[in-house]
Each structure stands twice: as structure tokens, then as C-alpha cells.
């Protein structure tokens, strides 16, 4: 990381040079097999859009393959919605249930993003626990991937799952999700411009050997840390404060990770580029009218700026 910008507490703010260095290079002579395979385990009948939004963003992040793993009924509804992505049935019905035989296929992917729109259920928690225990690649957990293990296994149980995991892990909570995961009071975490949230995120990363991307950790800034390093991202605007923005971020990050970046670098690049895409788009449509789909449509412009 090459950035020079700092904030008062000494944590650097990401800049374009950081992101250009973090993105895996593209080769003039190459094929889709050279850029990794990204999988997205997301969505249920109520939150089917989460899977679509994550997949749309993943297609902008560089991975050679993008695959959706969703409940069977949702797969039938999504066929053709994202034609560039593969779609697989992860279980029967329209809600997540643990099906080891079907889910085994996801383990071959280079990076997985799981939890977006899954539903906060014990079945979803069982799926996440399975991935933590059996997957050997790069795993991003967001939204109900975090809510479900906190609700099902408790604060200590969730931490134990992370400490005994087989894979590299990035968690991407917003403050409320982080509060559930740690048992802390969200209002206390966010006092004094998020001073406690920043410290708790760094501690959580170090204790549990995970990378943490904490949205809105300090005012409008996002914190990315992994126990050894900590940086802030300051790109973005209020237009991202809408449903679907987190799904878009997760899809973008998992794609960058699948194509070769570490989870820390992918988190830095994804947060910066999603925020910058929102800034670019808002100049045309305003922050009021900004949507997750519009953000995805401007990721390429953000990359071209680097």
C-alpha cells in the first residue's frame, strides 16, 4: 500500500495509487481460466435481488467465472437475469437449507461471498459453519452470513468458528451487524466518531485471525483491518445508504479476490472503487436517485481513473 494520506489517529486513507497496486494485473494474452472463479452464496425468495446485485458487481471485478449458488426456486426465477453468471441449486425449495451434497460443489471456487439476503436462520448458520470448516480458499461473509452465526452460535461460538476455520476470512459488517457479532452496544461503538468501533474491529481481527471491513466505522469512513494493518476508505456518498449497496460491494470484492488479490487488498480495492463509482454516478443522477445497479454500471469508470 502506497498511500500517504493520514487522519488524526494515524490510520491512513486509501488513495488511487493504493488501489492500482492492489488490483491483479490483466495480461494481453490470457483466457478466463487465468482470472479465477468467484462464487456467490446468497439470496432467498424474499431477498432474491441480493444474489443478482452481487453477481452484477462481481462481473465488473475481473474474475474469469462468476457463479451463483441459490435455493432451487430462486434459481428458476433468476435464470437469464445475469446471463454471464453460472447458476446452481444449493438446496431444495426457496429458502436456505443445508444440503452437503449440493453445497460441496462450491468448495472448488477460488473465492466465495456468502450471506447476502440468505435470511437470518439456523439453516443459513449451518451453511456458513460448513464453509468455515471445509472450504480452503478465500471466504467473504456479509449480512445474514454474520447475523445467522451470531444468533445461532452466540458471540463466543461465532468467534470460535473463526478461530478454527480452514479458510482465509473477510467479514464485512455494518455497525449493527458488528454489534451483534461482538455483543457490544452499537451506540457505544459509534460514540466519538467511532473511536471504540475502530479499536474493537482491530481487536476482533487480531483475536480471530480474520480481516474486517467495518462500514461506517468512523463517520462516513470505512475501516479495513486484518490484525497487522489498518486503513480507512473515504470514497462514496449518501447515495450508497440504500438497500443493495452492500450486496454490490460483496460481489465486487469476491471477484477481485478470486482473480488473485488477498482478501485485505480486495477489500481495500472494492470499498474504494464502489465508493468512487457512486461519486461518478451521482454527478449524473444525484445521490437521491443512486441505486446499487447504477453503482455497478460505473465501476468500470472508477477503474479507468486509476
Tens of pLDDT along 7-48?
546 899 999 999 999 999 999 999 999 999 999 999 999 999
Number of domains into which the chain is organized: 1
Q: What is the pTM of this model?
A: 0.97
Does residue 2 fall inside a structural domain? Answer: no
247: CB partners within 8 A, 6+ apart = 42, 49, 50, 51, 53, 54, 57, 116, 117, 142, 143, 292
Does residue 121 fall inside a structural domain? Answer: yes
* Structural domain for 245, as ranges: 12-304
Indicate which CATH number applies to the domain containing 143. 3.40.1190.20
Residue 287, pLDDT score = 98
Grid cell, residue 229, equals 494493518
Residue 305, pLDDT score = 97
**Beta strands, E only, 10-142:** 12-13, 37-41, 65-71, 86-91, 111-114, 138-141
How many angstroms separate the CA atoms of 189 and 114, rounded? 25
Does residue 188 fall inside a structural domain? Answer: yes
Stretch 225-243: mean pLDDT, rounded? 97
Does residue 290 fall inside a structural domain? Answer: yes
Question: What percent of the chain stands above pLDDT 70?
Answer: 97
Stretch 168-194: mean pLDDT, rounded? 96
Does residue 223 fall inside a structural domain? Answer: yes
Does residue 3 fall inside a structural domain? Answer: no
**Beta strands, E only, the chain:** 12-13, 37-41, 65-71, 86-91, 111-114, 138-141, 168-171, 211-218, 221-225, 230-233
Question: For residue 65, which phi and psi values (nearest 5 degrees)?
Answer: -125, 140
Grid cell, residue 27, equals 495480461
Stretch 197-202: mean pLDDT, rounded? 97
How many angstroms separate the CA atoms of 161 and 129, rounded? 7
Residue 8, pLDDT score = 40
Does residue 192 fall inside a structural domain? Answer: yes
Confidence of residue 98 (pLDDT cuts 50, 70, 90): very high
Does residue 50 fall inside a structural domain? Answer: yes
How many angstroms separate the CA atoms of 112 and 135, rounded? 9
User: Is 4 a residue whose pLDDT tops 50?
Assistant: no
Stretch 278-297: mean pLDDT, rounded? 99
Residue 1, pLDDT score = 46
78: CB partners within 8 A, 6+ apart = 43, 48, 51, 52, 68, 70, 87
Question: For residue 87, which phi and psi values (nearest 5 degrees)?
Answer: -130, 135
Confidence of residue 3 (pLDDT cuts 50, 70, 90): very low
Stretch 160-174: mean pLDDT, rounded? 98
Amino acid at each position: 500500500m502506497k498511500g500517504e494520506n493520514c487522519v488524526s489517529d494515524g490510520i491512513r486513507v486509501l488513495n488511487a495509487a493504493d488501489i492500482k497496486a492492489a488490483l491483479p494485473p490483466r495480461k494481453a494474452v490470457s483466457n478466463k481460466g487465468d482470472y479465477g472463479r468467484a462464487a456467490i452464496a446468497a439470496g432467498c425468495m424474499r431477498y432474491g435481488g441480493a444474489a443478482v446485485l452481487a453477481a452484477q458487481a462481481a462481473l465488473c471485478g475481473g474474475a474469469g467465472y462468476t457463479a451463483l449458488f441459490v435455493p432451487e426456486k430462486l434459481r428458476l426465477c433468476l435464470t437469464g437475469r445475469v446471463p454471464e453468471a453460472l447458476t446452481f441449486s444449493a438446496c431444495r425449495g426457496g429458502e436456505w437449507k443445508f444440503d452437503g451434497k449440493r453445497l460441496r460443489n462450491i468448495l472448488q471456487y477460488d473465492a466465495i461471498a456468502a450471506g447476502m439476503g440468505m435470511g437470518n436462520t439456523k439453516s443459513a448458520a449451518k451453511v456458513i459453519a460448513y464453509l468455515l470448516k471445509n472450504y480452503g480458499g478465500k471466504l467473504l461473509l456479509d449480512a445474514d452470513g454474520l447475523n445467522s452465526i451470531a444468533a445461532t452460535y452466540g458471540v463466543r461460538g461465532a468467534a470460535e468458528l473463526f478461530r478454527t476455520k480452514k479458510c482465509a476470512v473477510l467479514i464485512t459488517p455494518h455497525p449493527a451487524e458488528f454489534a451483534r457479532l461482538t455483543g457490544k452496544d452499537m451506540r457505544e461503538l459509534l460514540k466519538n466518531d467511532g473511536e471504540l468501533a475502530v479499536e474493537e474491529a482491530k481487536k476482533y481481527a487480531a483475536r480471530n485471525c480474520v480481516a474486517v471491513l467495518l462500514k461506517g466505522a468512523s463517520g462516513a469512513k470505512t475501516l479495513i483491518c486484518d490484525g497487522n494493518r489498518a486503513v480507512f476508505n473515504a470514497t462514496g456518498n449518501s447515495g450508497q445508504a440504500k438497500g443493495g449497496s452492500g450486496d454490490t460491494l460483496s460481489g465486487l470484492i469476491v471477484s477481485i479476490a478470486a482473480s488473485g488479490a488477498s482478501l485485505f487488498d480486495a477489500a481495500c480495492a472494492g470499498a474504494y472503487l464502489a465508493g468512487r463509482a457512486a461519486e461518478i454516478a451521482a454527478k449524473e443522477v444525484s445521490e437521491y436517485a443512486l441505486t446499487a445497479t447504477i453503482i455497478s454500471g460505473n465501476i468500470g469508470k472508477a477503474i479507468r481513473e486509476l
